[in-house]
Amino acid sequence: MVRAAVLPAVGAPLEIAEIDLPEPGPGQVRVRLAAAGVCHSDLSLSNGTMRVPVPAVLGHEGAGTVVAVGEGVTHVSPGDGVILNWAPSCGSCPACALGEVWLCANALNGVADVYAHRASDGTDLHPGLNVAAFAEETVVSSSCVLPAPDGVPLTEAALLGCAVLTGYGAVHHSAQVRAGETVAVYGVGGVGLAALQSARIAGASRIVAVDVSPAKEELARAAGATEYVIASENTAREIRGLTGKQGVDVAIECVGRASTIRTAWDSTRRGGRTTVVGIGGKDQEVTFNALEIFHWGRTLSGCVYGNTDPSRDVPILAEHVREGRLDLGMLVTERIGLEGIPAAFENMLAGKGGRALVTF
């Protein structure tokens, strides 16, 4: 038996409970978690913005050590450090055939599986976003684990599984920021901090961080922001004022709110690019008129998992870490146990802090 944070029903409080995990079957891996990041997507799952079968063990950003492997697993062995990949690509659907593995049609097929049982009453449990990282140990498909890179502590490597891949990918793959361009990042949470660092790595000449909290300015500047703007109804005007009344070349939206998406769009120059990373509810509607779409010539794009291929991009990120260009530790503003996850959710709702990290 292991301890886990169980979501008994949509909208219900998380419960810390003991669960029974099976031994890994063919093609499966059992992992002892070192750390798991608390992501806004976990909050979205808990409150029903995104839907998965429940009861479930949430948590999708994690790293740990292989405890056991099932028949046919050859790319990892017991004792190996691994990063969890919550959205493994199938390699055969139309998106995968195009090389767009982040849009794999079958990536989340595993969320409907029963992967464990509640120890007290045998209740079936589902694995949240495939990997159920809010637990001391988990059993996952072998496609959901990547060998952890050398030279990166496992507790920090957990962040590579979502926040850093997403922020880095938004900058380098979706927005394709070029050296010398100006960038605005909306939302200074875990993904936003990764995007700020990635914009700096890309060689952006001016990086504007936007957030509702004045308390995050020091953190944002440490990540690479050259300016800090407190979000208001005048944000777009203020950013244009910082850029010679032109607007930034690129805006990265990490909040997932209609008003913020609209502001990000308004803060880009004519012909600029807005990438939306944040996950909003279907009630969040963004409106544009036909004339402004023509006149401004801007590009608005969605971004799933940073448009990344984890097997390709994790080694690149690890090299940035080893060379000192990417600081994973500075993304973590709080280290907690399983019991601290509900408070971390509340902090996210209140716009506080960067990434909370569950450590085991």
Per-residue three-class SS string for 249-295:
EEEEECCCCHHHHHHHHHCEEEEEEEEECCCCCCCCCCCCCHHHHHH
Q: What angle do CA 255, 58, 52 make, to 5 degrees?
A: 80
Task: Place 220 in a pLDDT band, splitting at 50, 70 and 90.
Answer: very high
What average pLDDT does the segment 314-320 reach? 97
Q: What is the gyration radius of the CA atoms in the chain, in angstroms?
A: 20
Least Cα distance to 25 among 73, 74, 66 occurs for 73
Prediction pTM value: 0.95
pLDDT in tens, 24-33: 999 999 999 9
- The full set of domains in the chain, from first to last, is 2-148+328-359 (3.90.180.10), 164-304 (3.40.50.720)
Identify the helix (H) or strand (E) that includes residue 5. Answer: strand 2-7
pLDDT in tens, 88-137: 999 999 999 999 999 999 999 999 999 999 999 999 999 999 999 999 99
Who's near 307: CB < 8 A, 6+ residues apart? 100, 102, 169, 170, 173, 174
Chain-centroid distance of CA 270 in Å reads 29
Per DSSP, the chain holds a count of helices (H) and strands (E) of 11, 18
Among 17-21, 41-45, 64-68, 211-215, the range scoring the smallest mean pLDDT is 41-45
The answer on pLDDT for 349 being more than 90 is no
pLDDT in tens, 250-291: 999 999 999 999 999 999 999 999 999 999 888 999 999 999
pLDDT at 51: 86
The answer on pLDDT for 153 being more than 90 is yes
- CA gap 150, 85 in Å, rounded: 17
